[in-house]
Amino acid sequence: MPRCQIIFFVGICCLAALPPLHGQCPTSAVSTYPFIESFDGFGATSFSTTPPADWEQVPGDNGGGADSDWYFLDGPTVTAGTGPQADHTTGTPGAGFYAYVEDSGGEYAAVSLDSPCLDLSPLATPRLSFWFHSNNSQGPGGPNENTLTVDIVEFPQGGGGPIVHPDVFTTGHAGDLWKKAVIDLSPWLSSTIRVRFRASSDGGSFTHDIAIDDIRIGEAVVFDVGVSTIVSPVSVSTCGAQLSVAESVSVTVFNHGTESIPAGTSIDIEYQLDQDAAVAEVFLLAAPLSAGESVVYGFATPIDLAFDGTHVLAARTTSPDNDSGNDGTTLNIVTGIAATVTTFPWNESFDVLPQPATDTNIPPLCWEQDPTDSGGTGGIGDWLFRNLPTDTIGTGPDADHTTGVVGQGYYAYLEDGGSFADIGLLTPPLDLTTLVHPTLSFWMWSFNGASDVFDNELSIDVLDGSSQVLMSDLVGPLPPGAAAWTRQVVDLTSFAGQTIRLRIRGNTDGGFFLNDLAVDDISVYEGIQEGGHPPQPGAAVLDINTSRNLAGFPVPSLASGIYYATVDPGDNVTFHFEGEPGQAIILFEGPKNIGAHVFQLIGNQQLDVGGPNDPMTGLPTQINILVSGTDPDPLSMFFQIAPIGATDLVFSVPVAVSGQSFVFQSAIFNSVTAVRLSNAVQLDID
């Protein structure tokens, strides 16, 4: 056979082994489904324009430049009210990314983003679904409205093309929410395609950004429903109000699938309050429910909410479907709030607000912005409520204390942008007649990025039920500290039996902007008093890893013990001793036994560890002396109070003691009473 014929036939065989030609498709083709793109896993940074692998910013679709590309963003767009606050996947600012076109940068008829090449031949019923946000802040029909369009770019088998099929989906203003779109890709079943997302940016204004997220290509999803929102009941909106014994429950049922659900379909559905038994019913669709659309269902069974408090109402569909992960949702509901708090513990996390929004100054029900302070009303002269980092990086917390997640929970804060001597926030009246040892706990954040220049300070005042001041600066003024949430615990025992209000008061210096003040997770409760021996300042103090007693007080408060600390196996534990300089320390351990023995001859010093008393000596048994600073061995020489009046000793916790608890107490010699006993500390090993 001539050599040219051999080359010809070999070439035919090689061509037969290759996959079908798909025109000029420039990337490798996706052929495994479902294909999902959430824009969260490719290393994007805020306002970057580099797309995920095999996605492409379409060149030459307009004049060029960054604003003629799609951006990738993990928070609100530049102008409030023109785009989403967060991505659709997580719903939390800072947690996930979405793609969007900015309406402030220029006038572009087409800003286009192409998907990877998609070989649809493995699919029998190919569907494209995606979520979009298209909100013109000037409202429907307003001027300068932009559009989002989907085109299909086809690369036919055997070559040729590409062929652009324009406008398979188009939308303008759709409201300030994420909405779902579904497109049937069956016309291109035998082809390879790219999906082109094309947005306009009018340039006449900055009111209408366009965003997309959670793109899915795969087989049709015939049945996938879930409760997307709880419509009713709604939280009480006035102080002193309460919901009724027969509140109606209504929810929106959303079609997460790609196909319309026929009329007459039965959907199992239920609601549940807190941990109560679920109320189950059957929802019979009266009309078809299109893909990406929702319908309201009202339960026939009402719910009893005639009590105070914040409760969690959950609602979900229970019919078997394609994805159980999107079947339900929850809602925090304030069922009632007394004008005066009489039930304890009382907690406030600022996470249920009448009008939740970043930097709202409307406090929780029955709280009040102090009308007599120097801040006036509104703006930075009030305490604000925020679920994001404060405006100037490093001046306040990144997230609330309750959740620690940006965008989820709220905290109260003062923005250090004004010059006000005092800005107050008042709690509801607190009736303390049922508490013997009322105790206040709260978490605060106060860090001055300018060191000790232009410090702002935080105080807690006590007012009577008619808002007359009983005591100023019960707490504080507290200066700035570390850039972290720190817990403060305050004894309110002197106000037991009274009705009081607490005023959280701070100042903003006006000289700088680097010291925001924030508070969160405020609680008033009965402080448990175990009656353990208190720390003896200057004579005998023991602390282990900043321990606290059951009422929440730290050792420096000098409150009665016992104190408690927790540590993980393998971590370090710090024993902190205080006493007279140069004196020896005896450290002992034994079972917790508050008041095991009281030594009257040395000032009623109380031993809080040990077993039953020995009948011969009258002293507790089961006490182990671990180390004595009076012994001559090398270890004992460290158990001496240093010249500064304190000694810290650090040890590593063996893994072998995991799950055990140890109670320590120390005796420290002194020149006045010979020896004093410290407080006891229980160390729990997780």
| Residue whose entry in the numeric block shows the structure tokens 């615990």 | 489
Whether cis (ω within 30° of 0) applies to the bond prior to 562 is yes
pLDDT recorded at residue 199? 93
Fold equal for 29-219 and 227-336 = no
pTM of the predicted structure, to 2 decimals: 0.69
| Preceding amide of 620 cis, omega within 30 | no
**Domain range annotation of the chain:** 29-219, 227-336, 346-526, 541-685
d(CA 132, CA 207): 16
- Rounded to 5 degrees, φ, ψ at 637 are -65, -20
User: Residue type at 595?
Assistant: G
**Domain 541-685 class in CATH:** mainly beta
- Concatenate the DSSP letters of all residues of 197-212 into one string: EEEEE-SS-S---EEE
Give residue 416's pLDDT. 84
Query: Which pLDDT score is estimated for 203?
Result: 60
- Cα 640 to chain centroid distance, Å, stands at 45
Angle at 586 between CA 580 and CA 587, to 5 degrees: 120
List of the chain residues with pLDDT < 70? 1-23, 62-67, 105, 159-160, 203-204, 450-452, 510-512
The pLDDT score that the predictor gives to residue 390 is 87
CB 504 within 8 A of CB 412: yes
For 435-484, give the DSSP string.
Answer: -SSEEEEEEEEE--TTTTSS---EEEEEEETTS-EEEEEEEEEEPP--SS
Please name the residues in contact with 176: beta carbons below 8 A apart, sequence gap of 6 or more.
81, 133, 135
Q: What are phi and psi of 498, to 5 degrees?
A: -110, 165
The confidence score (pLDDT) of residue 415 equals 87
How distant, in Å, are the alpha carbons of 53, 218, 470 from that of 29? 12, 14, 75
Class of domain 227-336 as given by CATH: mainly beta
Name the residue type at position 300: A
pLDDT at 21: 38
pLDDT for 408 equals 86
Number of Cβ within 10 Å of residue 129's Cβ equals 22
What is the CATH topology of the domain spanning 346-526? Answer: Jelly Rolls (2.60.120)
pLDDT at 62: 62
CATH 2.60.120.200 is right for the domain spanning 29-219 = yes
Question: What Cα–Cα distance (Å) separates residue 50 from each residue in 39, 73, 619?
Answer: 11, 11, 76
What is the reported pLDDT for 617? Answer: 86
